[in-house]
């Protein structure tokens, strides 16, 4: 779960929940039925940077997201972390 950098919680955070603290851009957020989530691209990049998930699983998630149209190749090409994303996909940057 991504929360603002100043987020405070008075009780323990459940062990199944990992908090990511970040300032999100509008284009990194998708609104669902009464709640917001980060885009698949943002979620994959967060996990890639934290190095908490196996790169093979992240590669699979990225490729499947592209195949399903959840992430476009244009989004990857225009992203500041393009090099990391292309490397994860196993593609050299241009």
pLDDT of 77 > 70? The answer is: yes
Q: How confident is the model at residue 59 (pLDDT cuts 50, 70, 90)?
A: very high
pLDDT of 7 > 70? The answer is: yes
List of residues 6+ apart from 88 with CB closer than 8 A: 44, 48, 55, 58, 59, 62
Domain assignment present for 94: no
Strands 20-21 and 2-3: parallel
- Kindly state the average pLDDT of the residues 67-86: 94
Domain assignment present for 9: yes
Domain assignment present for 13: yes
Domain interval for residue 77: 2-89
User: What is the count of structural domains for the chain?
Assistant: 1
Per-residue H/E/C for 26-81: HHHEEEECCEEEECHHHHHHHHHHHCCCCHHHHHHHHHHHHHCCCCCHHHHHHCCC
- Per-residue pLDDT reduced to its tens digit, 20-49: 888 999 999 999 998 888 999 999 998 998
């Amino acid at each position: 779960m991504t929360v603002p950098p100043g987020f405070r919680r008075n009780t323990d955070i459940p062990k199944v929940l990992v908090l990511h603290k970040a300032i999100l851009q509008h284009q990194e957020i998708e609104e669902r039925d009464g709640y917001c989530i980060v885009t698949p691209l943002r979620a994959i990049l967060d996990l890639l940077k934290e190095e908490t998930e196996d790169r093979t699983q992240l590669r699979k998630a990225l490729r499947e997201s592209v195949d399903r149209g959840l992430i476009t190749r244009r989004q990857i090409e225009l992203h500041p972390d393009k090099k990391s994303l292309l490397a994860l996909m196993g593609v050299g940057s241009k």
